[in-house]
Amino acid sequence: MEIIKENRFTEEQTQIALFAKAFGHPARVKILQYLFESKSCVCGDIVDEIGLAQSTISQHLKELKNIGLIQGSVEGTSVCYCINNETWTKMKDMLGEFFDQDLISSDCC
């Protein structure tokens, strides 16, 4: 869609922002927490847990899936969603480094 290369931001800056956006909505924070805490991760259970319309939850799940934080596997007529630990770790590393900037920063003002 965006053909012309945008030089304004680095790949890293863009990726950090994309990860942040992924849990930049309380529903997606809650979904991710639920997937970590719960043994069950069926889509219908998530809908019950969060309290938003089924189509809305599907939309949020799609966003989390698009960035790779979760993955879904069809189980009969249900779909089981899980954290993708590889992406989760990558996110932890990237954002962890971003957060720790303060440790090597000099004072200002």
- Residue 26 CB, nearest approach to a copy of itself (Å): 4
List binders of a copy of itself among 48-77 (CB under 8 A).
50-52, 73
C-alpha span between 74 and 80 (Å, rounded)? 6
> Do residues 47 and 84 lie in contact, with contact meaning Cβ atoms separated by under 8 Å?
no
**Residue written as tokens 């189509």?**
55
> Do residues 54 and 18 lie in contact, with contact meaning Cβ atoms separated by under 8 Å?
no
Angle between helices 85-99 and 11-22 (to 10 degrees): 110
Select the span of 29-37, 49-57, 89-97, 98-106 touching DNA (CB under 7 A): 49-57
DSSP H/E element including 19? helix 11-22
List binders of a copy of itself among 5-44 (CB under 8 A).
8-9, 13-14, 16-17, 20-30, 32-33, 35-41
- Residue 34 CB, nearest approach to DNA (Å): 13
**Tokens standing for residue 104:** 């090597």
Which residues sit at the interface with a copy of itself, rule CB under 8 A?
Answer: 8-9, 13-14, 16-17, 20-30, 32-33, 35-41, 50-52, 73, 80-83, 85, 88-89, 91-92, 95-96, 98-102, 105-106, 108-109
